[in-house]
């Protein structure tokens, strides 16, 4: 099947940003210049530039000249696809290395997030995630056993656990997320190749089935210079958000009252 012209253009524009041909902070060539360079009409050029605005690669529009934001891809806070699906959607190469997968007692904090007893077993998955070969995020997921057991039949180094679980009947249909900043622990620093204490973006979530049962508690820690989160709001359709005064205590006491609702992310 032939790739649409606007997708070819958006891929070429991203390559220019990633390679430095369009440096961070520089103005994007005008629509007229791009139309002349690629011998195309304005429609595909505008669609390609809109895609770059959507993923955060460029800023501007509505009368302002587009500017290169830099090579820091943004993940939409309102839609939260799996890490693999998100990376593929912005033409980046996802990767993963499994550091641990095991059954173990949930412990008090994870148990409270999942609504189970601390002695109950969970399937714990600890993975290092990559974008284009660069260590980008540490993923710590804890599944109730009936949801996580299928992962022992899956090569967790091969791709998306979210996609695999969905394909095998696990109804990860929605999630509630909390985003904040934390300092890198010694373990974070070791795997992400940064200094202990360096700032990280943290995303915590509780994933639910179609009937509202809690299936997963996860915590992902991102290098902020390699990724960010983006929120799109309109007056007619606002992303529901809640500011919380003490994330650690509030998440433990009232996980149902924090964050925002969106599709699950692995």
Give percent of the chain with pLDDT exceeding 90: 51
Q: Does the structure show a pLDDT above 80 at 11?
A: yes
Confidence of residue 79 (pLDDT cuts 50, 70, 90): very low
Tens-place pLDDT, residues 196-246: 999 999 999 999 998 899 999 999 999 987 777 665 555 555 556 555 555
The CATH number, out of the four listed (3.40.50.720, 3.40.1410.10, 2.60.120.460, 3.40.1170.60), of the domain defined by the range 74-262: 3.40.1410.10
The pLDDT, as a whole number, for residue 165 is 93
pLDDT value at position 23? 84
Q: Which fold has domain 5-68?
A: Arc Repressor Mutant, subunit A (1.10.10)
Q: For the chain, where do the domains classified as CATH 1.10.10.10 start and end?
A: 5-68
Which of residues 257 and 93 earns the better pLDDT score? 93
Give me the pLDDT at residue 266, please.
46
134-173 pLDDT tens trace = 899 999 999 999 999 999 999 999 989 988 998 999 988 8
What pLDDT, in 10s, does the model give residues 82-120? 788 777 777 778 899 999 999 999 999 999 999 999 999
DSSP letters, 17-67, are HHHTSS-TTPBPPPHHHHHHHHT--HHHHHHHHHHHHHTTSEEEETTEEEE
pTM assigned to the model: 0.64
Structure tokens of 233? 């709001």
pLDDT, residue 18, reads 77
Portions of the chain given CATH number 3.40.1410.10 = 74-262
Residue percentage of the chain with pLDDT more than 70: 77
Could you give the C-alpha distances from 166 to 127, 170, 223, 251, in angstroms and in order? 19, 5, 27, 26
The H or E element containing residue 109 is: helix 108-114
Residue 243: left if φ>0, alpha if ψ -120 to 50, beta else—which one? beta
Give the per-residue pLDDT at 71. Answer: 52
CB-based burial, 85-106: b 16+ in 10 Å, e otherwise: bbbebbbbebbbebeebeeeeb
């Amino acid at each position: 099947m032939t790739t649409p012209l606007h997708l070819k253009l958006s891929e070429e524009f991203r390559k220019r940003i990633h390679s430095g041909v369009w440096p961070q902070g520089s103005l994007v060539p005008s629509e007229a210049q791009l139309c002349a360079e690629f011998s195309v009409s304005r429609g595909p050029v505008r669609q390609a530039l809109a895609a770059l605005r959507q993923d955060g690669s460029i800023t501007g529009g509505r009368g302002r000249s587009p500017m290169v934001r830099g090579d820091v891809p943004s993940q939409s806070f309102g839609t939260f696809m799996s890490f693999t699906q998100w990376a593929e959607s912005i033409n980046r190469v996802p990767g993963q290395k499994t550091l641990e997968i095991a059954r173990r007692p949930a412990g008090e904090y994870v148990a409270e997030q999942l609504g189970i007893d601390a002695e109950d077993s969970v399937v714990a998955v600890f993975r290092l995630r990559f974008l284009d070969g660069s260590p980008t995020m540490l993923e710590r997921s804890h599944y109730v056993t009936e949801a996580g057991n299928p992962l022992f039949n899956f090569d967790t180094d091969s791709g998306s656990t979210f996609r695999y679980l969905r394909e095998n009947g696990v109804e990860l249909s929605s999630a509630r997320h909390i985003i904040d900043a934390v300092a890198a622990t010694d373990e974070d620093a070791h795997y992400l190749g940064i200094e202990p204490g360096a700032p990280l973006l943290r995303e915590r979530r509780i994933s639910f089935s179609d009937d509202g049962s809690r299936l997963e508690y996860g915590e992902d820690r991102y290098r902020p210079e390699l990724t960010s989160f983006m929120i799109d709001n309109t007056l007619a359709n606002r992303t529901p958000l809640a500011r919380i005064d003490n994330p650690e205590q509030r998440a433990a006491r009232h996980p149902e009252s924090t964050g925002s609702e969106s599709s699950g992310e692995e």
